[in-house]
Amino acid sequence: MTDLKFDRDGLIPAVVQDTCSRRVLMLAYMNRQALEMTLSRGETWFYSRSRGELWHKGATSGHTQKVISVAADCDGDALLVRVEQQGPACHTGAAGCFYRILQQKEPLPEADFLSELEQIIASRKVERPEGSYVAGLFERGLDRILKKIAEEAGEVVIAAKNADRSELIYEAGDLLFHLLVLLAQREVGLSEVLAGLARRHGRRKEEKND
């Protein structure tokens, strides 16, 4: 760590990125002790500029960050920390802190759209804009969201039985959308689901190789 450039307050900015979705989750600061603890303990530790003390991400909420890698930029004055996030990263309950879109000139590629949609749903959960369908679901609570999941799953079954390809695509989209709402309600990140699938796939590959 001798070549890292900490500022005059002894801090260095740390950008935290989800290792699965590649989404930037948050920006925080580390001093040397926080970085040492992050490297040695395998979970993120930061330095709070407002409280003047170290803090362990998720110590209270349980939304910890398992460290996958830590890298410094070319100038040595910023860090990139790739993590497996447990639950939402933002204190507001959103999946990540950067959910307020100021400008977006072009739509994201389809492969990234689920992550974008998760961010939009997170913003509706936090901000609750008037007239928003998603905000209304959150206002009405878990039971209403679960009812919508059941309804949409039934529509998918009917579309599949009818052998109507366009209908199946439409209804499957509705089901995925409401599943993301449910995950947000229960504070489960899409990346956690994908990471779980990846681990299960890895185990199955190992079993086949035995």
Of 3.40.50.920, 3.10.20.810, 3.40.605.10, 1.20.1250.20, the CATH number of 12-85 is 3.10.20.810
Q: Is there a common fold for 12-85 and 110-188?
A: no
| 96 within 8 A of 26, measured Cβ to Cβ | yes
Give me the tens of pLDDT residue by residue for the chain, a chain 210 residues long: 668 999 999 999 999 998 877 889 999 999 999 999 999 999 999 999 999 999 999 999 889 999 999 999 999 999 999 999 888 888 887 778 887 777 766 665 555 678 778 888 988 998 899 999 999 999 999 999 999 999 999 999 999 999 889 999 999 999 999 999 999 999 888 888 888 887 887 765 555 555
Domain boundaries, the chain: 12-85, 110-188
Q: Which CATH superfamily is domain 110-188 in?
A: MazG-like (1.10.287.1080)
- Spatial CA neighbour of 70 closest among 104, 95, 42, 111: 42
Strands 12-18 and 79-85: parallel
- Whole-prediction pTM: 0.63
Burial class (CB in 10 A: 0-12, 13-18, 19+), 79: buried
String of b and e for 83-108 (b: at least 16 CB within 10 Å)? bbbbbbbbeebbbbbbbeeeeeeeee
Model confidence over 44-87: pLDDT tens digits? 999 999 999 999 999 998 899 999 999 999 999 999 999 998 88
Task: Give the separation between CA 84 and CA 43, rounded to whole angstroms.
Answer: 9
Residue with tokens 């039971």: 143
Tokens 């229960």 belong to 186
Which residue type occupies 101?
Answer: I
Instruction: Give bridge partners of residue 48 from the DSSP assignment.
Output: 53
Can you tell me whether residue 162 is helix, strand or coil?
coil
Listed residue (15, 20, 16) closest to 114, CA to CA: 20
Rounded distance between C-alpha atoms, residue 132 and residue 207, angstroms: 47
pLDDT of 119-137, one tens digit each?
889 889 988 999 999 999 9
